[in-house]
Structure formats: C-alpha cells, structure tokens
Structure 1
Amino acid sequence: MKLPKQHTKFLLFLTLFMLLPNLAAAEFRSVAVQKAIVYDSPSAQGKKLYLLGQGYPVEVIVNLSDWIKVRDQQGGLSWIDAKQLSSKRFLLIIPQVAEIKQTPDSGGVVLGRVEKDVVLELLEAPKNGWVKVMHHDG
C-alpha cells in the first residue's frame, strides 16, 4: 500500500500491542539484509529452515555473539547469523487489517489501512497503546 508522500510519518494503533508493558523487557532485532537464512543450530553447517525478509522483527532469546537464537512471530525458535540482524525496530501487522491514523487517538483521521503481515518501522516508543510508524514506501 502506497501512502501520499506528505504522510512520511504517521501513527498506527495496533491492537496486538495491548501487552506492550510485558514486551518492554524483551530484546528485539530486525532482519538487516534483503533475505536472511535461519538455521536449526548456531552454525552455517546447520539445517537451513527458511528465509526471513528485510525488516522482519524477531525476539532475541540467546546471544552467542556470532549467532543469535530468535523467536519469530509464529513462536518458532531458530538461529541466525548476528551480522544479518539490526537493532532497528520494526513491527509486523498481526490483525487482518490495521488502520493508519494521523494522530494518536481513536477519532484521528484515517490515512490508510495496512494488511496482515506488512512490516512497519517503529519510529517512537509506544505511548498509551499507540506507536508512531513508517511504511517503507513513505
């Protein structure tokens, strides 16, 4: 979904973040490369499980410096080369559709809608159940 260029920064209410206080202590990273291979063990000789696209958010479970054990959004555990991850935060849309709002309130103007599994960059920390995000198209 492409939004008008003047809306390069926008706000999105994500119902999936009702549990944000519980997630605040967790460490998250995102895929830094176009496609990252995840493995069943902390080695390039391990079994290749699947690919994750750029920006895909993961939770850090174990950090061994060169290899990081992560949990994906479906709850699966796997290993990824640490060089393929970034500390830049992204969010994955979980509901079928989420509304993009101009302001952080339920009465805010709807700028657009984002479908399930779209990745958005987190621009500001959550405040009162709202997060400021940006789509890669601006």
Structure 2
Amino acid sequence: MKRLVITLLLALGMAQAAQALEFRSVKETGVALYEAPALSAKKLFVVSRYYPVEVLSSQKEWARVRDATGGIAWIPAAALSKQRWLLVVSPQAGVRDRAGEDGRLLYSVPRDGVLELMEAPQDGWAKVRHRDGSIGYARITDLWGL
C-alpha cells in the first residue's frame, strides 16, 4: 500500500511538471489574435511587439494562447519569440538597483508597459531590462508573464 501511494505521488508530480507554464512574447508589431487557428477566422484583437502570452497548446503552425486578462485566442506560431517579456499589471512597477524595497529606485514603468526578463525570479524579485537598456529589479507581483 505504501509503495502504491509513493507511485501515485510521483506520477502526480510528473504530471504537474509536464504542465509547466510556457510564456512567449510577440516578436512583431500589430499581430492579430484569432478565434480559431486559421487566417480566415474572426480577428479578436491586435497585440503589439513584446506582448507576453502563455502558450496553452500548439497545432501545426498555430499556438493557442492566453493573455494577461485571461482571454484565450490563436496566434500564428511564427509570430512568437522565445525572448521573455513581462507585462506590468500594477498601476506602476518600480525598478530598483538591487532586489529589495531598500534598493534605490531607478525608474518606474506604468501599467501595460513591458520589461524583458533577464534571469529567473528569486525571492519575489525579477531582474529585468527596459527597452532602453536600463537593467534593474522589479517585484514579481507587479508583473505578468512569469
């Protein structure tokens, strides 16, 4: 019985690992998101370059994605980049010279702005780079796409 429980727990752990989140960013300006995986399908909205999306599944040349609002749509897979950009979801994200509230504030990015992820988050902070090249640390609670 104990062996069965351990086997089930291991299987559950592997299933959860297989469902790890995959985030990508739009690599072109003005890419349409569609209701179905076809250019003839209804266009739902257009996103800008660097906009992050969560890839839910892939089908041939299309990816089914979720955006920061929870909306689900289809996008041509060729329009996605592995480069990771994060969307600011709080009214403003402060970027500091080191991880922690005691870090000096370098600049702020308003809601819906984007920052490039430089390193995996640690202790609630992500090392990020602004499009102008400025590097610093932002709280992960202010960001979407991790």
Alignment TM class, shorter chain as reference: 0.7 to 0.9
Alignment of 1:50-129 (within 5 A): 50-129=45-124
Q: How many angstroms does 1:47 deviate by?
A: 0.6
Partner amino acid, structure 2, of 1:73: A
Which has the higher Rg, Structure 1 or Structure 2? 2
With the length of structure 2 as denominator, give the TM-score of the two structures.
Answer: 0.76
Q: How many angstroms does 1:34 deviate by?
A: 1.4
CA-to-partner distance for each residue in 1:57-109, whole Å, 9 max, x for gaps? 00011111300000011000000000000111110001101111001111011
Compare relative contact order (CA 8 Å, sep 6+) and give the higher one, 1 or 2.
1
Instruction: Please list every run of 5 or more consecutive structure 1 residues that lacks an aligned counterpart in the other structure.
Output: 1-23
Identity over aligned pairs, percent: 43
Does 2:49 match 1:49? no
How well do the aligned residues superpose, as a CA RMSD in angstroms?
1.2
CA distance in 2, matches of 1:25, 1:106: 29
Relative to its length, the structure with more helix (as a share) is 2
CA distance in 2, matches of 1:65, 1:131: 33
Does 2:5 match 1:25? no
With the length of structure 1 as denominator, give the TM-score of the two structures.
Answer: 0.80
Runs of at least 4 residues of structure 1 off by over 3 A? Answer: none
Partner amino acid, structure 2, of 1:29: R
Match of 1:132 in 2: 127
Instruction: Please list every run of 5 or more consecutive structure 2 residues that lacks an aligned counterpart in the other structure.
Output: 1-18, 134-146
